[in-house]
Amino acid sequence: MIRNILEYLEQTAVRLPEKTAFSTGEDRISFAELETAAKKIGSYLLRFGGRNQPVVVLTEKTPISVAAFLGCVYSGNFYTPIDAAMPKERALSILRTLSPQAVLTDEKSRKRAEALGYEGKMTALEDILTGGIDEDALAEIRRCSIDTDPLYALFTSGSTGVPKGVVVSHQSVINLTEWYTEAFDITEKEIIGNQAPFYFDSSVKDIYAVLKTGAQMEIIPKMLFSFPVKLLEYLEEKQINYIDWVPSALCIVADTGALEGRKPQYLKKIMFCGEAMPTKQYLVWREKYPDALFANIYGPTETTVDCTYYIIDREIAPDESIPIGYGCRNTDVFILNGDRLAAEGESGELCVRGRCLALGYYNNPEKTAEAFIQNPLNPHYPEKIYKTGDIAKYNERGEIVFLARKDSQIKHMGHRIELGEIETAVHSIDFIQNGVCLYDEKTQRIVLFYCGDGTQADILKRLRDKVPKYMFPNVIRQMEKLPMTLNGKIDRLALKEYYDRDNGK
């Protein structure tokens, strides 16, 4: 039985040493080179002496950044990717939460990394790669490793404005990879067109499918996702046959009509995850690719990327939403209404149990205890379940259908965002008295209402340093005052009505 994800890499490096594992443009790394680079990075990290400690990898999205992740694992530690383009305050908040024993960066990201004003040590990967490998020490670390050791911590938006670090173990990722590669028949023949950023957990599937099967990952330059024709030409040129993208990326292609004039011929498997895939755009893709495998995949970071999936093997009516389907192998998914199972057709909170559950939130016992609770259906022995905060129900076919978020958390451009995090950032601007965010599902716009001075431009200029671009409000309205409920809270419902009325709905 496999205990450590490095076994995937090592077995594939023996089988297919020269084959390209990860590439982007001209930059590529083979499985053998990946193993060597990861071992060098692991050997370097040994000097810090930590075990199961965080290491931050602050790089651009390149093949060598995967070697950095695996190097952290070789050293007996776990990794957290930070994007070089992440806003300063978010990156610093992650660094504060983790207090990592090391920060690895690359030449290209060095300037940005230094601009953070982070006081801990940072090491350039280029320098580490000139060093050697301490095989004996790495073997000793492996001998002691167990599959409940942490593999990575990825950060999600937190309602208090502080992002939460979801810690995931080797066994959860092994559980995912074994199921995923089998369910979608991923082999060394696959060329995976990667869209998900490495700090976004959807990329975990792409990365570990490559390591296990010997498939190749082609990292698609982010800029191409703004230009559908270029994107499709790229899929053709790189012979990409497999994509697992956030729906908004697929929608842009469908909405611009880019598929009308062209059809990348190698594409065989089309997956979407991260938010609900609108049926209209799905049907555009389906029409173009009647024989491709389409699957809708669902799962919060806390359940290790996926907990349900739906292979679309029947007609979907234009007015029907695509089901999220059934629990993944070795994963139990159920709908709770209070402390009991929801009846058929009744909506409730989607809950999950199984090996896929994350270990918890790093340095955050309160939030961990709130989300990972004792199974209310089982009073007899300790058993944790994860409450997703998503409302779902079974349809008449017995398929699970996603209905809504329980709280103010939204899905926007594939990102899970707490509106509260944007509000916290807005409140921290000195000329703002008060601000409230709504989400307009129809047009997919984040709407900010605020009281105070300053123009839209002033607000956005200040938000740049505080939250990522995808959290920027798309519509900003200045108000004389905000409506209040009887007990003195801001009346979100009234604001929503006001907004809808204003937009002629």
Partner 1 sequence: MDTEALMKILAELRPDVDFEENKELVDSGELDSFDIVSLVGELCDAYDIEIGADDIVPENFNSVEAICALITRLQED
Q: Which residues bind partner 1 (CB under 8 A)?
A: 85, 222-223, 225-230, 248-249, 252, 255-258, 260-261, 413, 455-457, 460-461, 463-464, 469-470, 474
Those residues whose C-beta lies under 8 Å from the C-beta of residue 189, and which sit 6 or more positions away, are 215, 241
- Shortest reach from residue 474's CB to partner 1, in Å: 8
**Beta strand ranges found along 207-265 (DSSP E):** 216-219, 242-245
**395-429 core/surface letters (b: 16 or more CB in 10 A; e: else):** eeeebbbbeebeebbbbbbbbbbbbbbbbbbbeeb
Q: How far apart are CA 166 and CA 310, in angstroms?
A: 25
- Select 182 or 237, whichever has its Cβ closest to partner 1: 237
Integer CA distances (angstroms), 482 to 113, 265, 348, 475, in order: 39, 54, 32, 16
- Select 267 or 312, whichever has its Cβ closest to partner 1: 267
Those residues whose C-beta lies under 8 Å from the C-beta of residue 185, and which sit 6 or more positions away, are none
If one counts every other C-beta atom within 10 angstroms of the C-beta of residue 255, the result is 14
Q: How far apart are CA 323 and CA 308, in angstroms?
A: 10
- Shortest reach from residue 151's CB to partner 1, in Å: 30
Those residues whose C-beta lies under 8 Å from the C-beta of residue 325, and which sit 6 or more positions away, are 296, 298, 308, 309, 310, 311, 399, 400
DSSP 249: H
Element (H, E) at 447: strand 445-452
- Shortest reach from residue 108's CB to partner 1, in Å: 13
Q: SS3 for 116-145, per residue?
A: CCCCCCEEEHHHHCCCCCCHHHHHHHHHHC
- Select 226 or 337, whichever has its Cβ closest to partner 1: 226
DSSP 276: P
- Shortest reach from residue 345's CB to partner 1, in Å: 36
Walk across the sheet containing 293-298 and list its strands. 27-30, 20-24, 216-219, 191-194, 242-245, 269-273, 293-298, 308-311, 326-327
Whether residue 426 contacts residue 415, with contact meaning beta carbons closer than 8 Å, is answered with: no
- Select 36 or 444, whichever has its Cβ closest to partner 1: 444
- Select 39 or 466, whichever has its Cβ closest to partner 1: 466
Helices (H) and strands (E) in the chain — how many of each?
17, 27
- Shortest reach from residue 116's CB to partner 1, in Å: 18
Q: How far apart are CA 398 and CA 466, in angstroms?
A: 43
- Shortest reach from residue 476's CB to partner 1, in Å: 8
- Select 171 or 195, whichever has its Cβ closest to partner 1: 195
- Shortest reach from residue 235's CB to partner 1, in Å: 14
- Select 249 or 328, whichever has its Cβ closest to partner 1: 249
- Shortest reach from residue 54's CB to partner 1, in Å: 28
- Shortest reach from residue 225's CB to partner 1, in Å: 5
- Select 63 or 414, whichever has its Cβ closest to partner 1: 414
Q: How far apart are CA 481 and CA 476, in angstroms?
A: 14
- Select 6 or 284, whichever has its Cβ closest to partner 1: 284
- Select 222 or 340, whichever has its Cβ closest to partner 1: 222
- Shortest reach from residue 469's CB to partner 1, in Å: 6
